[in-house]
Each structure stands twice: as structure tokens, then as C-alpha cells.
Structure 1
Amino acid sequence: MRKTCLLFDNDGTLVDSEYLCNLAIKQQFAELGVNLDVDHLVEHYRGKKMANILSILSSKHKVPIPDNFLPDYRERVAKLFEKQLKPIKNVELALSKLPQQKAVVSNGPKFKIEHALRLCGLGQYFGERIFSAYDLDKYKPDPEIYLKVAKILGTKPQECVVIEDSITGVMAGSQAGISTLFYNKTHEKHQLTNVTDFEDMADLPQLIANLPSAT
């Protein structure tokens, strides 16, 4: 069974947004009197559900999250995106060489995904096939998020490939039984099955072509 559907994460996989998103968290918490390190946030919270991140940081630093925190954070991220967001290096080259159906599957809200793709000129590769955990009510690392999207798209898990940049997302793909490619620039250790690590998006077309066909 050949690979006919590619399921991409967004932040850190298609668009180089992880630093910007976590910079916004740092700036928001600075207003609460808490000093956070952006690199530490990226390392420890990349790919996780926003509500869980805020809950952990609130508890750790003993500060309540005000009601306006999340909308102010979203506005701050949007402004940072407008000024600084770029696509991941070589990702558009890879996308242009991949004939398969493509979709985005993200833990982020749909409006944020669409904004990022528009700014980076990548929306043309995905059309309406943009899926947010907020709408699906399934969040990575729950494998059901990818199984649900595959069903919506009318494909079998064996026909899909997941492309992710975080352990959280890779866990979701691996545990769904889907061939998963891990854009692992920081050489994170894992023992997940059905996962292939890589470091350059230019290699993506050949990696997908080399994946064994499911029977």
C-alpha cells in the first residue's frame, strides 16, 4: 500500500515559529513578574498543548493566569509572526516535489495555522486540509488526532506519513501506527517505533519515497 497522504505538523515543521511563540510566553510572564528563558521553554514545551503549558508554568512559578492572558498572548504572537516568521529552511522545496495529498495537523488553533501558512506562502500546498486539535478535541500526543484526520481524509493510516518536529507529535504518529518522520535537529533521544529521524527538509521527498509500502 503506497503512501498517498502526508500529515504535517505546523510549528517548527512547516514554519519557524517555535522561538517566536515561546518569546511571546516569556514576554507575557514578564508582565506577571516572572523571568523565563526562551530556549528553555522551546526545549521543554515544544509541541505541547497550550493549556497544559500555562498550567505547569502557573503552578511552578506560583502566579495565577489572568483572564486576558491567552487573548493577549495570541495577539502578541500574531504581531511577532508579521515581523519575523519564516518557513522552515528547504520546506517549500520539499513540498513542491511531493505529489501526495497534504494536510496540516496541529495542536494550535486554526486561525493561527492559517495566518502562519499565509505569511510564509505555504497555504497553496494544503488548501482546506488544515486540522486543529481545538476543533478535533484531540491533542497530541494522543494518537487519535492522526487517526481521526486520516478517516476524515478518506485514507488508511498505512497510506499516511506523519512529519513532526517534537517528541509530543512523534509520539502521536508512532502510537497511531503511522510511518513518522522526525525533523530532529536537536538530536533528541527516543525509542519510538516506526520513526525515522532527519535534519534537512530537502531530504524529505527521498525519505518518503524510501518508506516501505504497507501490505
Structure 2
Amino acid sequence: MTAPANDARVLICDCDGVLIDSETIAADVLVRELEARWPGVAARPIVLPLLGLRTERVLDCASARVGRALADSDIEAIRRSVEAAAVQAPIVDGIDAALARIDLTIACASNSRRHYVDAALRRTGLKRFFGERLFCADGVARPKPAPDVYLAAAQALGVAPSQCLVVEDSATGVTAASAAGMTVLGFVGGGHASPRQVDALRAIGARRVFDDMRELPGLVSR
């Protein structure tokens, strides 16, 4: 087991893109659903920069960008389609072995809804690392990039934010964890990652950026 050499007592992982390699799947569903509703619109360049936000927020931003509204029923239908596809995604390569080597309390803080996170972790077998330490956007007033979900996790776990080490894959998540006063590691090894993401995550506060989960135990121990 890898023990931390720093003050960290808790490792908090985002779900989509860190535990579950679901962001590419989610993006594909969003693009398909939007292009079906908005003929002539190329949705992918609009959607990709918004990954990490809640699905509802992605759709709001996309609507504003193209000047086309979505009915509430469309938003709910798209959200359900995204969840149904993403919950079947594989785990991020190496995450199970990495978590097994880390001698910290491990929690999850996600911009997704709790029922989805719980289902995804149960299906993949990762739930054993987290128990009920799942903190999700539907349990706080403001989703990421606000720090609420991270502050709620620290409070529930009885630790100071400065004692939390976070793994995030998006600018939205890094912004949230940094605003909460936590140390952040940026992960860019998911199927949706791009070269620009490395610089972006560093620029907004990630202490280190890495692309292979086999590195995580060593990063935790530093």
C-alpha cells in the first residue's frame, strides 16, 4: 500500500473520465441527439469544450451558442440517453489496481447524479473502494465549477480541504477542487483527452498532470 508523504488524508476522484472512461461516449450521445434536433448544426465542436459540466448545463450552453432552444422534455430525454450509455462505459485503464495500492480514505465527487454514479461503480466493481462516500451534484446547491460538492465531501469525511487530494480530468473539475482549497492532480489519459488539456489543467491549478493511472500511487505518496 502507498501511504502519502504529504498531509493528505483523503483521495477524492471525479467519476466520469477518471474512474469510468465515459466522456467520449457521453459526447457522442450529446452530438447525435443535438444534431437530430438541430439539422445543419455541427454539434461536436460545441459539445467537446463543455465536457465536465452537468448535462443540463452543457445543453443550456449549446443552445445559447447556436441560438436554438430545447424544450424541457428534450433536455430530460437527452440527459437520460447520456446516462444510459455512459453507465455501460469501461473503467479507466489501471484505475482499479491504482486504488488498491493507495492507503487513504477514498471518495468520489461527481457532477453526475448519485444514482448514476452508484450504478456505474457497482457495475464495474469499483464500488468496493468507495462504499457510500459518493458526493454528487444533486446533493449540493451548485454543481462544479462551484466548490460545493468538494466542500461537502470534506465536511462529511471530517477533514479540512487542505487534507484532500483530488483527481480531475476537466477544467470544470479542477476549478471546483482548487476553489475548495484542495490539491488537484489532472488526469489526461481518458479517451476524450487532447494535448491542449495538459496546458489547460496546469493553467487553472492542477499540481501535476499525468496520463497513466499506474502513476497515481506514486503521485499520492509525494
SS of aligned partner of 2:17: coil
Between the two proteins, what is the percent identity of the paired residues? Answer: 28
Separation in 2, partners of 1:99, 1:141? 28
Aligned to 2:218: 206
Paired with 1:116 and 1:95, the residues of 2 have a C-alpha distance of 16
Q: Is the 8 A contact 2:35 2:43 kept in 1?
A: no
- 1:195 pairs with one of 194, 207, 221: 207
Asked if the contact 2:121/2:127 (under 8 Å) is kept, the reply is yes
Residues 49-58 or 30-39, more deviating: 30-39
Partner of 1:213: none
One-letter code aligned to 2:31? K
Instruction: Give the aligned residue type for 1:191.
Output: A
- Deviation string 1:15-58 (CA, Å, 9 cap, x unpaired) is 0010111122122213313444547623x012113332111211
Point out where structure 1 has 5 or more consecutive residues left out of the alignment: 211-215
Identify the range of structure 1 (190-199 vs 18-27) with the bigger mean alpha-carbon deviation: 190-199
Tell me the distance in 2 between the aligned counterparts of 1:169 and 1:78.
19
For residues 167 and 146 of structure 1, the distance between their equivalents in structure 2, rounded to whole angstroms, comes to 15
Describe how 1:1-215 pairs up with structure 2 within 5 A: 2-34=7-39, 35-38=41-44, 41-42=47-48, 44-81=49-86, 84-185=88-189, 186-187=194-195, 188=197, 189=199, 190-193=202-205, 195-210=207-222
Report the CA distance shift for 1:75/1:49 in structure 2 as closer, same or farther (over 3 A).
closer
How far is 1:78 from its partner? 3.9
| Number of residues of Structure 1 aligned to a counterpart in Structure 2 | 208
Q: Which amino acid aligns with 2:221?
A: A
Aligned alpha-carbon RMSD (Å): 2.0
- Which consecutive unaligned segments of at least 5 residues does structure 2 have? 1-5
Q: Which whole-Å deviations, capped at 9, do the CAs of 1:94-152 have from their partners, x for residues lacking one?
A: 11111211111011111111122122221111111111122111221223431221011
**CA distance in structure 1 between the aligned counterparts of 2:46 and 2:72, rounded to whole angstroms:** 25
What's the secondary structure of 1:22's corresponding residue?
helix
AA aligned to 1:136 is V
Q: Is the 8 A contact 1:138 1:144 kept in 2?
A: yes
Query: CA deviation digits over 1:74-93, x for unaligned, max 9?
Result: 332344246x5100011111
Q: 1:106 to 1:79 in 2, by over 3 A?
A: closer
Q: Deviations 1:153-202 (Å, cap 9, x if unpaired)? A: 11111221011001111112223221111003434224234621111111
Amino acid at match of 1:161: L
Give the Cα separation in 1 of the matches to 2:60 and 2:79: 17
Moved over 6 A (4+): none
Contact 2:26 2:82 in 1 (8 A): yes
- What TM-score do you get using the length of structure 2 for normalisation? 0.85
Cα separation, 2, equivalents of 1:169 and 1:72:
25
Distance 1:39 1:64, change over 3 A: closer
